[in-house]
Amino acid sequence: MKKTIFALCAAFALCFAVSSTSFAVENVLDAQDVVKALDENRMKFDMQYKNKDLTIKGTVDKIEEKKGKYILSLSNGDKVPNPFKSIECTFDKPDELMDLKKGDEASVSGIYKGKQSFEVGIMTLFKCKLAK
């Protein structure tokens, strides 16, 4: 009886460990999926992700400096990038961006604060870092 209980506990722990590992991978959002979700229902997206740290992977469209902030724009995957559908990622320092160029794939982590009045793209992430 004790062996059976121990075996069940071990199996449960193993399943939990595997599901926790796969959950971390699921937390990386694809830029195309994010743009689609925002287009379909921004309110639902905001309720799920507002004020949370997100990691988004996508294709670098542009890297620039604006008003003392360093902006990396991820495209939505269209053949002709649409600046109104880009995801803008703000960095405090340019160091991480120096080795990137347009067309590179990048994963960026930052805080999503919901729709901003100054936004050009479809969304903005703040306090960004390149994800490893």
Burial of residue 113, with CB atoms counted within 10 A of its CB: 0-12 exposed, 13-18 middle, 19 or more buried: middle
Each of the 132 residues of the chain gets a pLDDT tens digit; together they read: 444 433 333 333 333 333 332 223 347 999 999 999 998 999 999 999 999 999 999 999 999 998 889 999 998 776 666 667 889 999 999 999 999 999 999 999 999 998 876 666 789 999 999 997
Can you tell me the distance from the alpha carbon of 14 to that of 73, in angstroms, rounded to the nearest whole number? 40
Which residue in 116, 20, 108 sits closest to 61, CA to CA?
108
Total tally of structural domains belonging to the chain: 1
Residue 122 located in a structural domain:
yes
Residue 34 located in a structural domain:
yes
Verdict on whether the full-model pTM lies above 0.85 = no
CATH number at residue 40: 2.40.50.140
Q: Are 107 and 124 in contact (CB under 8 A)?
A: no
Q: Provide the b/e sequence for 60-70 (b: ≥16 CB within 10 Å).
A: bbebeeeeeeb
